Amino acid sequence: LVRNDRFKLDKKTICKLHTKVSFEEALKWGEFRDGNIRIGGTDYLPPNYKELDIVFEKGINQLQQINHPAIRAICY
């Protein structure tokens, strides 16, 4: 897809990449989590799993506002 200039970072692509890099390393791979989690040793609460699609879309929209391709890639 990159060679054909058709690569885009959408949920489908992100989940495919996650399948490749986290295969048998995460509880589930290739999909957004389907439950709430906590991070041990912190008071931080990650977003509710029901809000992940919205959080993802907001993040992608913000990243697309970055004009410099190298900076945008680093931020991704």
Per-residue pLDDT for 76 more than 90? Answer: no
pLDDT tens for each residue of 20-74: 998 888 888 899 999 999 999 999 999 999 999 999 999 999 999 999 989 998 9
Is the C-alpha dihedral spanning 2, 9, 12, 18 positive or negative?
A: positive
Q: CB count, 10 Å around CB of 14?
A: 15
What's this model's pTM, rounded to 2 decimal places?
0.77
Q: Where are the beta strands (DSSP E) in the chain?
A: none
